[in-house]
Amino acid sequence: MIRFRLQELLAERQFREGHRVTITELAKATGINRVTLSKMVNQRGYNTVTDNLDRLCRYFKCSLAQLAEYVQDEELTVPKSQRGRRQTPATKGRRT
């Protein structure tokens, strides 16, 4: 699944500029609908058009790889504390 890194990029920009940047301000600056941006931030697996990706890369002055990342589905379902652990038949499905 593709995960958009909008929150992280907004936080970096806010730190550099010294003021809060809202989704509404991002929408005005990029011409992307506020609801679309909100879905990109909050909805897992949201699908958007490449024009939006282009506009966001231009706004953040970043590459596509900095804007989005591929996350394997199993990483989303396994708690962070158990990622990388190998499950045996005796422990498979058991919560710790």
Phi and psi for 70 in degrees, rounded to 5?
Answer: -90, 130
**pTM beyond 0.85:** no
Q: Say if 70 falls within a structural domain.
A: yes
6 within a domain of the structure (yes/no): yes
- The radius of gyration of the chain's CA atoms, rounded to the nearest angstrom, is 17
Q: Which pLDDT does position 75 carry in this prediction?
A: 60
- The domain in which residue 25 lies consists of 2-80
pLDDT at 96: 47
Residue 59 lies inside a defined structural domain of this protein:
yes
- Considering its fold, how many domains does the chain have in total? 1
Per-residue confidence (pLDDT) for residue 81, from 0 to 100: 60
| CATH number of the domain residue 76 falls in | 1.10.260.40
On whether residue 88 sits in a domain, the answer given is: no
Q: CB under 8 Å to 23, separation ≥6 — which residues? A: 34, 37, 38, 41
15 assigned to some structural domain: yes
Q: What is the mean pLDDT of residues 4-33?
A: 94
Strand partners, 68: 4
pLDDT, one tens digit per residue, over 22-52 is: 999 999 999 999 999 999 999 988 999 999 9
Residue 39 within a domain:
yes
Residue 82: pLDDT over 60: no
Q: Is the torsion defined by CA of 27, 70, 7, 41 positive or negative?
A: positive
Backbone φ and ψ of 4, nearest 5°: -85, 140
